[in-house]
Structure 1
Amino acid sequence: MTAITPEEIESLFERGGAYGFSRWGRPIAPVVFGVEEETISVVKGALEALCSLARHELAETDPELGSNLMVFFIREWSDLKGVPDIDRLIPEMDPLLARLDEAKANQYRFFRFDEQGAIKAGFVFLRMDDTLADIPADVLVLGQMVQIMLLWGEKAFAERSPLAIHPETKATVLRPEIAQVIQAAYDSVLPATAQDSSHALRLFARISAVG
Structure 2
Amino acid sequence: MTTLTPDAVAALFTRADGQFLFARWGRPIVPVVFGVTDATVAVLKGAVEALCVLSGHRMAETDPELGANLMVFFLRDWEELPETPNLDRLIPELGPLVARLKTADANQYRIFRFDETGAIRACFAFIRMDAHLSDVPAETLALSQMVQAILLWSDTAFAGASPLVVIDGTAVLRPEIADLIRAGYDPVLPAMDRDPAHALRLAARLGRMQ
Q: TM-score by structure 2 length?
A: 0.96
Q: What is aligned with 2:24? A: 23
- Structure 1 residue 2 displacement after superposition: 6.2
Work out the CA distance in 2 between the residues paired with 1:99 and 1:80: 13
Q: Which runs of 5+ in 1 are unaligned?
A: none
- Structure 1 residue 83 displacement after superposition: 1.0
CA deviation string 1:58-112 (max 9, x = no partner): 0111011100000000111111111111111223111110111122111110100
Contact 1:2–1:207 (CA under 8 A) maintained in structure 2 = no
The alignment partner of 1:209 has SS state of: coil
Contact 2:179–2:207 (CA under 8 A) maintained in structure 1 = no
4+ residue runs over 3 A deviation: 208-211
Q: What is aligned with 2:195? A: 196
Q: What is aligned with 2:153? A: 152
CA deviation string 1:26-71 (max 9, x = no partner): 0000000011100000000011000100000001110111000000
Q: What is aligned with 1:8? A: 8
Q: What is aligned with 1:136? A: 137
* Number of equivalenced pairs: 209
Work out the CA distance in 1 between the residues paired with 2:209 and 2:112: 29
Q: What is aligned with 2:171? A: 172
Work out the CA distance in 2 between the residues paired with 1:4 and 1:123: 28
- Structure 1 residue 208 displacement after superposition: 4.2
RMSD (Å), alpha carbons: 1.2
Which region of structure 1 is more displaced relative to structure 2, 68-77 or 99-108?
A: 99-108
Sequence identity percentage: 59
Work out the CA distance in 2 between the residues paired with 1:204 and 1:94: 40
